[in-house]
Amino acid sequence: MFNPPYANAICYSGYRDGQSPPSGVFPSYEQIREDLLILQRNWRYLRIYDCSRHADTVLEVIRNERLPLQVMLGMGVQAEVSNYNCPWGGVYSDTQLQANREANNAELERMVALSRRYSKEVLALSIGNEASVEWNDHMVPIDRLIAMAQHLRRETDHPITFCENYVPWTGKLKGLVDHLDLISVHTYPVWEYKSIDEALAYTQENYYAVKGRYPDKPVVITEAGWTTASNGVGIDSWNASEDLQKAYYDRLLEWVTEDQILTFVFEAFDEPWKGSPDPMEPEKHWGLFALDRTPKRVMAGLYTDLMSDAH
């Protein structure tokens, strides 16, 4: 049974300006150390998205610096089937899909290796991120996800999960659940055009729709947050601000702390490499901290020493 001590948790991607997973330019040891020294003041659990050099360095920093942090380690999976429902792509040649399967196999082995090397630093293992929801561009069939979970069960001792939007958990992923130690749910009221006054109730509705279906399985939230800027594409511009982020965060944390629901807030730092080139693209602005590591309004009270004139 997955039952770690309750504590604050956050998603962490440490890429700075000019760095990104697609480019293969990774943050340095010192940059990640700077980030984790900030985060360890308020959080105990981190979630990261792949088993790249970024993940290796995060785990190395935690161990070397003896930081009181543990990591939910994720697989960065690529599409194994085309998804014609994806609005921005998701259709690949047979050659590319075969190459992706081989890349996923290699990622799985990296996960096994990291989880063994950093056994104490790893909290749990996730076999992917949003790889079954109907709109994604990296679709992986359910039987393949099951095979990945079974492989990890044979090769590691860590709890196993899959991180996904709440909708597939209510039906499509039923066959996967028996192979997992916990269910990891994503919930984003602002992406579904909810106002701040509707937001917490909507998040609770998403969570309990999944929990009610699997009452005997631990259910955690691995993404919930609010962007601070938008160009109006997907999220109304008026519905993205630092004030709204703070309001959602405060209400969310009050609920999950009272009910002891492990919740990884999305996201620690702004991610400029994501989404379209538009600087107001909402994907770039989910951080509780800006790209320069200064706290946004939501964190201002806890991090007054890091404040700048910009916030």
What pLDDT is recorded for position 311? 45
Burial of 260 (0-12, 13-18, 19+ CB in 10 A): exposed
136 touches 128 (CB < 8 A):
no
**For range 149-153, the mean pLDDT:** 98
Q: How far apart are the two ends of the chain, measured CA to CA in Å?
A: 42
Q: Are 187 and 236 in contact (CB under 8 A)?
A: no
Give the span between the Cα atoms of 226 and 248, in whole angstroms: 7
Spatial separation of the C-alpha atoms in residues 267 and 212, rounded to whole Å:
27
Span 159-173, average pLDDT = 97
Query: Residue 22: helix, strand or coil by DSSP?
Result: coil
- What pLDDT is stored for residue 291 in this prediction? 97
Question: Using 50, 70 and 90 to split pLDDT, how confident is the model at 151?
Answer: very high
Percent of the chain with pLDDT over 90: 97
pLDDT of residue 1: 78
Q: Is 80 exceeded by the pLDDT of residue 310? A: no
Strand partners, 73: 48, 125
Of 304, 289, 258, 274, which is closest to residue 39 (Cα–Cα)?
A: 289
- Residues 156, 145: Cα–Cα separation, whole Å: 16
pLDDT tens sequence across 105-130: 999 999 999 999 999 999 999 999 99
The whole-chain average pLDDT of the chain stands at 97
Please answer whether residues 75 and 44 qualify as being in contact, where contact means their C-beta atoms are separated by less than 8 angstroms.
no
Q: Would the pLDDT of 308 be above 90?
A: no
Strands (E), 69-202: 70-74, 122-129, 160-165, 183-186
- State the DSSP string of 117-146: HTTTTEEEEEEEES-SSTT-SS---HHHHH
Look-up of token digits 């200064």:
294
pLDDT value of position 307 = 84
Band of pLDDT at residue 12, cut at 50, 70 and 90: very high
Going along the chain from its start, the domains and CATH numbers come out as: 9-306 (3.20.20.80)
CA distance 117 to 260: 30
